[in-house]
Amino acid sequence: MKKLLDQITEEVQKAFAASGYEEEYGKVTLSNRPDLCEYQCNGSMAAAKKYRCAPIQIAGKVAEELQKSAVFEEVLAVNPGFINLKVSSSFVQTYLRKMQKDERLGCDKADKPRTIIVDYGGPNVAKPLHVGHLRSAIIGESVKRLGRFAGHEMIGDIHLGDWGLQMGLIITELKRRKPELPYFDESFTGDYPEEAPFTISELEEIYPTASARSKEDEDYKNEAMEATYLVQHGHRGYQAVLQHILDVSVADLKKNYANLNVEFDLWKGESDAQPYIPGLVKMLKDKGFAYESEGALVVDVKEDTDTKEVPPCMILKSDGASLYTTTDLATIVERMKLYRPDEMIYVVDKRQEMHFVQVFRCARKTGLVAADTGLKFLGFGTMNGKDGKPFKTREGGVMRLEHLLSDINEEMYRKIVENSEAEIPENEARKTAEIVGLSAVKYGDLSNQASKDYVFDVERFTSFEGNTGPYILYTIVRIKSILNKYREMGFDPEAGMIGMPGNETQKNLMLRLARFNGAVLNAFEELAPHKICAYIYELANAFNKFYHETKILGEENAEVRSELVAVLVLTKRVLETCIGILGFEAPERM
Ligand code: ARG
């Protein structure tokens, strides 16, 4: 379905043409004076320069032409040359009726679907998930769902950090604790045990211990570096340990991401890209892209228009070791080979921006991607505590994701018990608290423009009022409860057709509903889930105003009542679709 705004614009453009002006001046925008009109066209101002006359003259002529249109109920030319527009009720009604009948709510699927890989999550194996990984998971998941809804082939890849010094550290520490294990017996040729020699909680304790020790003990650190080298170069026993680390970590990560309603299509990691490195290095050398600089192998990626220095992209260190950039380049090679994506989107902390500038430029320059393959960096800001500093535990340590979520759920549980009129059974209240708690965390994050830092404010995020997840869910639950009552009265909520708006409040709600497809497509184009949040916040406000002013189930005329219910059903569908895109859902009651 064509966007409502596009339909309106076309109508105004036709009127410009019919009045003897170029139609490009007929662009329409949302009104910035909603008290006066719903839409406006400012094109007469620009047209006046070209046609050398007063803008109000043009506006007047076009407005007169528009009187004939069935799209508008009111058209006014006002000084100095605006055209103020109110659309007709029947136009909105017709639009919503089409939306009502369409399972996609009027949002067409992309006619040229693209294959898009979203690289998000990016946790580091063997290190506990902490709040730093939260944003990537939340934003990435939403971008993936947004693209999927828009009709694209979206592939979410977790891109595990499974190729670093942390592996060597864990191996070294394990060897110190349990030297008798067969992995450390160089003469061992049998099969290694299937059972991992540690649990996830042991693993999560081993890494920080080893990391701390390596900072104090030079020999220990050297041993860990040696172990890292060996595991990366085929040491049989160490690779068996690595596999255990991966298995144990991945099982735990899956559980944690499932709690966040985050799902990946690919569970690949940095290690999967390693086999592509030798070929990559050879190509870069053979084609003359890479050269030696102070022993290291680098590719120049600076451009004439750079305003700040972009250092060369490092491919190999002087000792021949590969780096983060190398792995990301090799991952691009792997992805192009296996999935042929039209685009790759990286949802990563914005402090890594320079890294991606280098990687993207290098990939383009050296032809790793086709000229029209999109490479996008969606950098996000830091999640801060109320003190404005990166979010920490009360003791000042790194907050584990699990703890953060359980704190939120506890707070949510308290509010739900406090709020509900009827007695809710404990286990239902707990379950609801989890659902609503997730909305609090996700909406609290997604409602901010991704690139900005924001303050993680448990009090505000869990509030049932204001621009919060719980407020949106509350609105949906309110609708569900009215629909249930309507059903209990013996009627089918799905049976009603959208009617003509009975008053301004209802019309305003209907106009907002009609903007659904525009809001979704625009959010996807700009990779901006916060625009979906802004849209549903306004929609929820428009709905609640309507709810407070309107007798719905109390309406005596059954026909009118069924039309009001139809608006409720549509509002619920739109809100539920949007929160689905944001990555959470609504409970039955709260
Ligand atoms: N593991 C990395 C980190 O924790 C994030 C990975 C981001 N993705 C990528 N392709 N580099 O910083």
Assign residue 58 the CATH number of its domain.
3.30.1360.70
Asked if 10 and 87 count as a contact pair (C-beta separation under 8 A), the reply is no
Ligand 1 atom 12 nearest Cα: 122
**Ligand 1 site, residue 124, Cβ cutoff 6 A:** yes
Give 326-346 pLDDT, tens digit per residue.
999 999 999 999 999 999 999
Q: What is the DSSP letter of 87?
A: E
Number of C-beta neighbours around residue 580 at 10 A? 14
123 within some domain:
no
Ligand 1 atom 11 nearest Cα: 328
Instruction: At 98, list the tokens.
Output: 């089409």
pLDDT at 138: 97
Among the atoms of ligand 1, which is closest to the Cα of residue 349?
12
Query: Are 178 and 279 within one domain?
Result: no
Query: Are 281 and 232 within one domain?
Result: no
Rounded to the nearest 10 degrees, how much is the dihedral formed by the CA atoms of 578, 589, 409, 455?
40
pLDDT at 233: 87
Ligand 1 atom 2 nearest Cα: 122
Q: What is the DSSP letter of 287?
A: T
**Ligand 1 site, residue 477, Cβ cutoff 6 A:** no
Query: Are 485 and 445 within one domain?
Result: yes
**Could you write out the three-class secondary structure of 194-235?**
CCCCCCHHHHHHHHHHHHHHHHHCHHHHHHHHHHHHHHHCCC
The three-state secondary structure class of 116 is strand
Query: What's the gap in Å between 359 CA and the centre of ligand 1?
Result: 13
Q: Domain boundary residue among 237, 259, 281?
A: 259
Could you tell me whether strands 72-78 and 82-87 are parallel, antiparallel, or unpaired per DSSP bridges? Answer: antiparallel
36 within some domain:
yes
Asked if 405 and 422 count as a contact pair (C-beta separation under 8 A), the reply is no
Ligand 1 atom 7 nearest Cα: 122
pLDDT at 462: 95
Query: Are 563 and 418 within one domain?
Result: yes
The three-state secondary structure class of 22 is coil
Instruction: At 316, list the tokens.
Output: 């190999």
Query: What's the gap in Å between 269 CA and the centre of ligand 1?
Result: 10
Query: Are 453 and 567 within one domain?
Result: yes
Ligand 1 atom 10 nearest Cα: 328
572 within some domain:
yes
* Cα separation, 286 vs 108, whole angstroms: 47
Query: Are 11 and 54 within one domain?
Result: yes
pLDDT at 260: 94
Query: What's the gap in Å between 90 CA and the centre of ligand 1?
Result: 52
Q: Look up the CATH number of the domain holding residue 425.
A: 1.10.730.10
Rounded to the nearest 10 degrees, how much is the dihedral formed by the CA atoms of 55, 56, 59, 63?
-170
Instruction: At 293, list the tokens.
Output: 């600089």
pLDDT at 131: 77
Asked if 170 and 132 count as a contact pair (C-beta separation under 8 A), the reply is no
Residue type, 34: P
Query: Are 180 and 278 within one domain?
Result: no
DSSP 307-357: SS--PPEEEE-TTS-B-HHHHHHHHHHHHHHHH--SEEEEEEEGGGHHHHH
Query: Are 289 and 252 within one domain?
Result: no
137 within some domain:
no
* Cα separation, 328 vs 280, whole angstroms: 11
**Ligand 1 site, residue 328, Cβ cutoff 6 A:** yes
Sole residue written with tokens 């170069």: 233
**Ligand 1 site, residue 269, Cβ cutoff 6 A:** no
Query: Are 72 and 190 within one domain?
Result: no
Residue 44 CA, distance from chain mean position: 39
117 within some domain:
no
pLDDT at 337: 98
Report the residue among 348, 349, 375, 382 best suited for mutation to probe ligand 1: largest number of ligand atoms under 8 A from its CB: 348
pLDDT at 538: 98
* Cα separation, 16 vs 37, whole angstroms: 20
CA distances for 172 relative to 280, 347, 432, 517, angstroms: 31, 32, 44, 55
Among the atoms of ligand 1, which is closest to the Cα of residue 356?
11
Q: Domain boundary residue among 197, 224, 259?
A: 259
417 within some domain:
yes
* Cα separation, 103 vs 297, whole angstroms: 55
Backbone φ, ψ for residue 484 (5° rounding): -60, -45
Query: What's the gap in Å between 123 CA and the centre of ligand 1?
Result: 7
Query: Are 241 and 362 within one domain?
Result: no
Q: Look up the CATH number of the domain holding residue 293.
A: 3.40.50.620
Residue type, 337: K
Domain range for residue 188?
A: 165-259
- Residues in the chain with pLDDT < 50? none
Q: Domain boundary residue among 259, 290, 315?
A: 259
Query: Are 276 and 247 within one domain?
Result: no
Query: Are 276 and 216 within one domain?
Result: no
Instruction: At 368, list the tokens.
Output: 């790793």
Strand partners, 345: 118, 376
* Cα separation, 396 vs 388, whole angstroms: 13
* Cα separation, 415 vs 12, whole angstroms: 50
pLDDT at 543: 98
CA distances for 41 relative to 7, 16, 37, 78, 402, angstroms: 13, 11, 11, 11, 51
Backbone φ, ψ for residue 165 (5° rounding): -60, -25
CA distances for 71 relative to 5, 8, 43, 83, 276, angstroms: 11, 7, 19, 14, 59
**Ligand 1 site, residue 348, Cβ cutoff 6 A:** yes
**Ligand 1 site, residue 261, Cβ cutoff 6 A:** no
Residue 404 CA, distance from chain mean position: 20
193 within some domain:
yes
Number of domains the chain is built from: 4
Number of C-beta neighbours around residue 50 at 10 A? 11
Sole residue written with tokens 């109110």: 86
Strand partners, 86: 74
* Cα separation, 530 vs 450, whole angstroms: 8
Residue type, 498: I
Number of C-beta neighbours around residue 556 at 10 A? 7
The Cα angle at residue 395 between residues 392 and 400, in degrees rounded to 5:
45
* Cα separation, 200 vs 198, whole angstroms: 7
Q: What is the DSSP letter of 424?
A: P
The three-state secondary structure class of 404 is helix
pLDDT at 421: 76
Among the atoms of ligand 1, which is closest to the Cα of residue 348?
7
538 within some domain:
yes
**Ligand 1 site, residue 127, Cβ cutoff 6 A:** no
Asked if 457 and 386 count as a contact pair (C-beta separation under 8 A), the reply is yes
Ligand 1 atom 8 nearest Cα: 122
